[in-house]
């Protein structure tokens, strides 16, 4: 039975989830891991890109940008979990038009991630707040920024794209003592020519292994003479159980930055 007053998701939209949630479909990898680790019996479906936990065994509904809406409906979810950055408004609207409750998260900072996940689990999934989320809050509250560095953060090449303004990734790095050179750019993920990137005045290049898989042999060679840090994209860009280990893991990888 749906509650008399529907809770509001991060966008302020009322979501008529039942008092007891039994089936959840997630169309965001971070949220999939969040539910799978917290209440694995609830997860009824996930995208093809949902890779954590490693042993995840649930029906797949294609990708974040092209979810199989008919397949999602067939799975009879009590609620679908999405994100304003990862999922298209048209797909969210189509699911809601089909009578499916969709809970949308909107996350651009670590603090927003911690608060959003807490609400999502409690109000959209109807489960107690897990210990890992309390631990993540404790860990991030204790983070003290290290040496301040100016960095560019590519997330794609051909064409080159970087992290711009108002992003979760940028906030994570800022808390760890890394200032994003393009934090003031009008776009959140601008396309920037390589020559301009190399002339941007950065003393560090942060290369994650997702969404583009930068490696020792693919990426660092484009930034001669500049320190490069190869980092775990899940720790840098995901909001979920990885939040608890992200500060220590990223600090180690940033400290290992060097000219390749």
Q: Residue 157 corresponds to which tokens in the numbers above? A: 């090449």
Q: Is pLDDT above 70 for 1?
A: no
pLDDT for 76: 97
pLDDT for 144: 82
Residues 181-190 have pLDDT tens digits of 999 999 999 9
Q: Is pLDDT above 70 for 142?
A: yes
Please tell me the total number of residues recorded for the chain in this structure.
260
pLDDT more than 90, % of the chain: 96
* Residue ranges of the chain assigned to CATH 3.40.50.1980: 24-129, 145-259
Global confidence as pTM: 0.92
pLDDT grade, residue 5 (50/70/90)? Answer: confident
Tell me the H-state helices in the chain.
29-38, 69-74, 89-97, 110-119, 131-141, 168-175, 194-198, 233-237, 246-255
Residue 42, classed as helix, strand or coil, is helix
CATH architecture of the region 145-259: 3-Layer(aba) Sandwich (3.40)
The predicted model gives 22-32 an average pLDDT of 98
- CATH code that applies to domain 24-129: 3.40.50.1980
| Helix or strand run (H / E) with residue 57 | none
Give the span between the Cα atoms of 137 and 101, in whole angstroms.
28
pLDDT grade, residue 197 (50/70/90)? Answer: very high
The mean of the pLDDT values for the chain is 96
């Amino acid at each position: 039975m749906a509650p008399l007053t529907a809770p509001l998701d991060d966008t302020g939209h009322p979501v008529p989830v039942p008092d007891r949630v039994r089936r959840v479909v997630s169309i965001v990898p971070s949220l999939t891991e969040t539910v799978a680790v917290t209440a694995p019996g609830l997860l009824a479906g996930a995208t093809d890109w949902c890779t954590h936990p490693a042993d995840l065994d649930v029906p797949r509904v294609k990708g974040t940008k092209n979810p199989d809406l008919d397949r999602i409906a067939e799975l009879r979810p009590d609620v679908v979990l999405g994100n304003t950055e990862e999922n298209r408004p048209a797909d969210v609207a189509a699911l809601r038009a089909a009578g499916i409750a969709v809970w949308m998260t909107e996350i651009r900072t670590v603090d927003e991630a911690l608060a959003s996940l807490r609400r999502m689990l409690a109000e959209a999934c109807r489960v107690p707040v897990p210990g890992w989320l309390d631990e993540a809050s404790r860990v991030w509250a204790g983070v003290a920024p290290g040496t301040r560095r100016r960095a560019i953060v590519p997330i794609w090449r051909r064409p080159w794209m970087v992290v711009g303004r108002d992003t979760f990734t940028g906030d994570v790095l800022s808390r760890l003592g890394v200032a994003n050179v393009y934090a003031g750019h009008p776009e959140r993920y601008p396309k920037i020519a390589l020559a301009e990137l190399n002339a941007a005045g950065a003393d560090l290049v942060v290369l994650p292994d997702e969404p583009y898989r930068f490696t020792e042999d693919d990426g660092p060679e484009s930034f001669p003479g500049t320190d490069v840090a190869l980092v775990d994209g899940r720790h840098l860009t995901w909001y979920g159980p990885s939040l608890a280990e992200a500060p220590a893991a990223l600090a180690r990888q940033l400290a290992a930055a060097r000219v390749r």
